[in-house]
Structures are given as structure tokens and as C-alpha cells.
Chain A
Amino acid sequence: MKKKLRKNMLIPYIGSGLILLAFILDSPVNIFNGYKVILLSQSILLTDYLLIAGIGATLLNSGLLILVSYLIIKKLDLRVTGPLFAGILTIGGFAFFGKNPLNVATVWLGIILYTRYKKISLRSVTLTFLFSSGIASVVSYIMFGLNIELFYSIPLGLLAGIISGFILVELSPHVIKFHNGYDLYNVGFASGILVLIYYSIFKAFGLSTNITLNVSSEYSYTMFIIVTVLCLVLIISGYIMNGFNIDNYFDRILSKSGRAISDFTRKHSEGITLFNTGLTGLLVTLIVFFLGIDFSGPVVGALFTVIGFSAFGKHIRNVFPSLFGVYLASLIINADITVVNIALAFIFASTLAPLTGEYGIIVGIVAGMLHLPLSLNMNELLGGLLLYSNGFSAAFVAVVMQVIITSLERDGRLWHFTKQRKM
């Protein structure tokens, strides 16, 4: 049993649990009707599935995508490592606001075609495969948002999705050098480059998107409880799997900078990794709750991403400075942290955790402060067509911070009082 849990990292139980909850909290008729709405929506930022389709259909969507992703991993004979755990939870999280089987499968098809064309196994590109669906909004927008006949829009949407998937496999490793692994949402950055091109073409044809910030607050407490319980389950399961202790927490997790590629599950550390995902997720969830932010679809999705990436770089030592930086910036520019796009920048700033891990708290805070204005601007630039817009903007923050640090650093120290970096 323990061995099986180590291999699947509770993923099938999380997916099944969400589906079960969907049918407990909503009627089958509501779920069916809501799911139709999800599949036919434009799905650009911010399309809160909780708002347009209700809680049942949204939980079903998330659970289904998690289970489908897990089955693909199983079919490829892979165990759920830290990166794959992050990839699956990211899909499950964004299934609250933008991803659905229709638009995700289209991008996946592009990647499968790429592997056939290059005669390689899908196993070797699984990570990009899972994260690629951040560009899925483009597919739904072309299919259902361009106001042209479905006869034309559906093939066009399919084509855009397939081309995107095909290109992303090469683009993702190519652009990781840009930020040197300090932006954990690397595929978000790669996808952003593609979306920038797509949106520029749309604009050249006089087409534009309507970015909305309408989100649901109706299910806020229910979703808070669901996320909290999920984190507690992860903490307890991790504690048990790790032999009822957390003695190796510092050595295996907290001592790491978190810079990509940090797979916390290596060296048989699945238990302590699960503990970290739950603890980091729980602390961020509680902060979000006490700041008075509603647990809307996008906010829940962002929290799922934090939980997922806590197996792939994030932990309680490196996550909070950049979040605090965003909070400080919001106070300076007088922005309301409870407004959903500010709240998302706050939670997703955790993608810059490796900067804190490598260079310290002050760098993390400054990075977070830079992240807020940049991420707000990116939505305009990308027309809301990129679900990972925070990942896109964070790459620029990571680069700028690295250049500043490299310029100031002398003898491996940033300032005279800082610790000399390990070389």
C-alpha cells in the first residue's frame, strides 16, 4: 500500500475525491448543464467556471482532468515524480478557470503529433505535455469567441491548438535558459511567446478580447474548506508515509533553493514531499483567507498550483518573501489585494521562490514587488489568452533580478553581510 502511494502521490484519490464531491454538492442535471457551458465557453482570463457553470461541473472538470492526466502517466509507465505531481495539479487547478477536456486535448494532440514526427517516446516530453495546456484558452477563444461560423472556427481552433502543442516541445527547453530556471512556470513563459504572436495577429485583423474580472464568491467558504482539507490530507499522508516523522524535512526539502529542476521526490522522499505540499499549500491558503480574498475559481486554481509546485521547487522557506513583496507593492500603488487579478499575482508570485532560495529574503521581496505591476500589464499585452500570464511576467522579473545581482555580486556575496553562496 505504502509503495503504491509512493508511486501515485495520492493523485488518483485527489481526482476521484473531487468528482465525488461534485455529485455530493450538486445535482446531476446541474452538473451536466454546467459542463456543457464549460466546454463551450471562450475560457479566456478570467473565466471562472464556478461562476458560469456552478460548483458541481467545475469540480467534475478538475477531477476528470486530474484522472485523465494520471491515466496517461500510468500508460507511459511513469511514477508520479515531483515535476509530474506539479503538472497534474496545475491542470486540475486551471480546470477551475480555463482548461477543459476539449481545449486541453487539442494542445496535447499537437504534442503527440510532434513525438510521432520526431519518432520519440511521449515519455521524454511528458513534462511539457502536462504544462502545455496553459495555451488552451487560445483554442476555445478561436472556436467560440471569434463570432464566426462554427464550421470555420472549430477547425481553426483545432489547428491553432495542434500547432501550439507541436511548437511548445522545442520552445520550452529553448527558453528556460532565458531565466535560468528561476521562474518555475517555464512553459508559461514559452506559451506566452506564442500567445503574444497569436494576439498580435488577432489585433491586426481588428479582433480583440474582453478581459473580465467577474468571479464567483458564492462558493468561497466551501472551496476554502475543500482546499484546507486537501492540504491536511497531504500533510497527514506525508507524515505517515515518511515513517511518522519529519526529521529529513530540512535536508531533503528546506535546504534546497528550489531552482528548476528540483524534484523533491528523489532519493525516495515522496512522504516528506507530500508533507511539504500540504504544509506550504495550507499556509498560503490561510494567508489568502485572512487577507479576505474570496476563494473563487481562479484563486482555488492558483492554490492548487502552489500545492503542486511544492513537489517541484516551492517550500515554506522560499515561497513567502515574493508573496510579501507583492503585498507591499499593492500597498504602495494602493491596489486592493482582494481584487482577483491582484490576488492571483500575489499567489502566483510564488513562482519566483527559487530567487529567494538562492539569493535570500530581500531579493525575494524585491522580486515580488516587481512582479505585481508587470503581471498586471501582461494581461493587457496577451489579451487574457494565456492562462499562465503570471509565469510569463515572472520570467522577466527573474532575468532582471539575476542581472542586477550579477552586477552587484562580488566574491560570491551580494552584500557584505550576506552569506557567501555555495559555488
Chain B
Amino acid sequence: MALHETKKNVKIIDEMLFYFVEKGFIDVTIDCHFNKVETIIEFTVFDNERLLDECLKNDIYVERDAEVEEYGYELMGESDTASELQLVGMLIDSIDIIRNNDIIKVVLKRNK
């Protein structure tokens, strides 16, 4: 298990929520599931203009980087720019974007 696991999960949530609100998606619900193997964070976002799928595809690239694990996680949620989604991408193992009409579900998984 990595250090500061809970703090990292909270910061991932912080950064993602900031991202959604800054993009104008103000109707967001968060569900978190923590277990010994992984953390699953689900964001349910109301997006009737159907813009979020493309935004997320551009702004987040998922490839977990072990070596930055303890170095830069503190930067998440600290700035008013969206660039830290790069960091989110470095700290998670997968992202699923599921659309159901005007509702989009973003599921992040982080293995321990």
C-alpha cells in the first residue's frame, strides 16, 4: 500500500469536483467505495449539452506512474487551472465514462 492513501483519494475527488464545477457542470453527485484492494470513485454529472465526454477525453490520460506517487499528489486541488487532471491520470488505474441520455457517469479506479 502506498503512503497517504486516504489523502490521495480525497485529493483526486477534490480535483475532479473542481474540474466539473469550473467547466460549468454544477449538478454532481459523488459515490465512493473503499476496500482493501481498490478505491472506486463515481461521479454522476448532469450534462444535457453533451460536452463532458470530449472534455474528459482531452484533459485526462490514464497511465499510472509509480514514481510520481509520492511527489506531486499534493498539487491536486491546489490551483485554479485544470492541468492537474494530468496528475489524476498518473494516480489512477482506469477511467470509465458511461453516458445515459443527459447523465454521465465517470468511474475512477485506483488499485492499492
Contact A180 B79 (CB under 8 A): yes
Contact B72 A81 (CB under 8 A): no
Contact B86 A262 (CB under 8 A): yes
- Judged by a CB distance under 8 angstroms, whether B14 is at the interface is no
Contact of A176 among B3, B61, B74 (CB under 8 A): B74
Task: Please name 30 pairs of A and B residues whose Cβ atoms are closer than 8 Å in the assembled complex, sorted by A.
Answer: A78-B66, A81-B65, A83-B65, A83-B67, A120-B2, A123-B67, A123-B69, A124-B67, A124-B70, A125-B67, A125-B69, A125-B70, A172-B71, A173-B71, A174-B74, A176-B71, A176-B74, A177-B75, A180-B79, A186-B71, A259-B81, A259-B83, A261-B72, A263-B90, A266-B61, A266-B63, A266-B86, A266-B89, A423-B22, A423-B80
Contact of B81 among A121, A174, A261, A421 (CB under 8 A): A421
- Judged by a CB distance under 8 angstroms, whether A58 is at the interface is no
Give chain A nearest CB distance to B34 CB in angstroms.
19
A176-B72, A260-B72, A262-B86 known; A121-B78 Cβ under 8 A? no
Give chain A nearest CB distance to B89 CB in angstroms.
8
In angstroms, Cα B75 to Cα A257, docked, is: 15
- Judged by a CB distance under 8 angstroms, whether B43 is at the interface is no
- Judged by a CB distance under 8 angstroms, whether A416 is at the interface is no
Contact B71 A261 (CB under 8 A): yes
With a cutoff of 8 Å between Cβ atoms, the chain A residues found around residue B22 in the complex are 423
Give chain B nearest CB distance to A401 CB in angstroms.
14
Residues 33-63 of B, flagged 1 when their CB comes within 8 A of A and 0 if not, give: 0000000000000000000000000000101
- Given A124-B66, A174-B74, A176-B75, 5 extra CB contacts under 8 A: A83-B65, A177-B78, A261-B68, A266-B61, A422-B82
Contact B67 A126 (CB under 8 A): yes
Residues 355-368 of A, flagged 1 when their CB comes within 8 A of B and 0 if not, give: 00010000000000
Q: Which 6 A-B pairs have the closest CB atoms?
A: A126-B67, A261-B72, A124-B69, A123-B66, A127-B71, A173-B74
Contact of A120 among B3, B65, B71, B90 (CB under 8 A): B3
With a cutoff of 8 Å between Cβ atoms, the chain A residues found around residue B13 in the complex are none
Contact B66 A121 (CB under 8 A): yes
In angstroms, Cα B95 to Cα A269, docked, is: 21
Give chain A nearest CB distance to B36 CB in angstroms.
16
Residues 385-423 of A, flagged 1 when their CB comes within 8 A of B and 0 if not, give: 000000000000000000000000000000000000111
